Amino acid sequence: MEWKTAVTDILGCRYPILQGAMERLADWRLAAAVANAGAHGIITGSISRTPEKLREDILTCKEATAGAPGTFGVNLSIGLCPDIEKMLEVCIDEKVPVETSVYKPDALAPMIKQGGIPWIHKAARVKDAVHAQELGPDAIILVGVEGAGIKNPDQLPTMTTIIWGRKQLTVPIIAAGGIGSARGFLAALGMGADGIMMGSAFMATRECRIADSMKEAITRLNPEDPDLRRRVLTPGPPRRPADPSAAETAPRETDWSQAVSLAAGVIDHVPTVKEFIDGIISEANEIINGWAFLKTR
């Protein structure tokens, strides 16, 4: 079946699946692997650090994804990405979609709109999404409390957030938070989303730049483990492994399992990015075909 939605129309990718930005991890290599597998990869702007390096990374990624069934864009995390306006200028110049995230995008919005590139904004609360929608993004990512990264004390579970968001937003929604399998993908579409974003699940793919031992450790995590639950569900700054200075220079030696979300419950092997995305799509097709009640009307 064709997985064409408002999100694939906006981003030009084959599947309505996005890879989330990941500070220190999701560089152009991961974004390229995702685009080559038919989804939408994201280069984390804070990894490129300078506008010059970001342009270089975008050009390398374009070369690595020429003719790909998927696409890629750049994440500009407000408050985290250095020199953000200059970074945005590069994205506009190179005509790549941007994803803004973490804080209010009000200051960047006029420049993005004038630049004419596709724009998606990531919010943790429906109320912030409603505010952002007024600024004219093409789509909004809503992240539930089960997700990694952004944490707001008022954040709701993914299911509640997406369904409630669907009632209040007119722009397409991308669901994130705790998703890592075909069932989560289909559930998100059922809740009214037009696509999904996953971060943690991509940490356990072969192309992610963390150590293999760490990926194996992620597959053994249990979302009912009290420490994991507490780490993910307690409001506060994004959960990052201890010793960030070491992580900066040696991401492979850092305990990245500390940053994984409740998606841990469905991460049970370490596939390539292509195996992972193909697996979600083929399992989603199988599940839909198995839902006999859908065919009785």
Stretch that binds ligand FMN, among 87-95, 177-185, 218-226, 243-251 (CB under 6 A): 177-185
- Does 101 sit near ligand FMN (CB under 6 A)? yes
| Tokens standing for residue 188 | 């998100």
Q: CA gyration radius for the chain?
A: 18
Stretch that binds ligand FMN, among 29-37, 63-71, 127-135, 173-181 (CB under 6 A): 173-181
Determine the angle formed by the axes of helices 28-36 and 273-290, rounding to 10 degrees: 40
Stretch that binds ligand FMN, among 28-36, 57-65, 128-136, 255-263 (CB under 6 A): 255-263
**1 vs 213 by CB, closer to ligand FMN:** 213
Distance in Å, CB of 294 to ligand FMN, minimum: 27
| Tokens standing for residue 87 | 């970074």
Pick from 21, 68, 98, 156 the residue near ligand FMN by CB under 6 A. Answer: 21
The footprint of ligand FMN on residues 130-159 (CB under 6 A) is 143, 146-149
Q: Give the DSSP H/E element, type plus range, for residue 57.
A: helix 51-64
DSSP 168-190: H--S-EEEESS--SHHHHHHHHH
- Does 87 sit near ligand FMN (CB under 6 A)? no
DSSP 121-139: EEESSHHHHHHHHTT--SE
**Helix, strand, or coil (residue 46):** helix
Residues that bind ligand FMN (CB under 6 A): 20-23, 25, 44, 46, 75, 77, 80, 101-102, 122, 143, 146-149, 176-179, 197-201, 203, 259, 261, 263
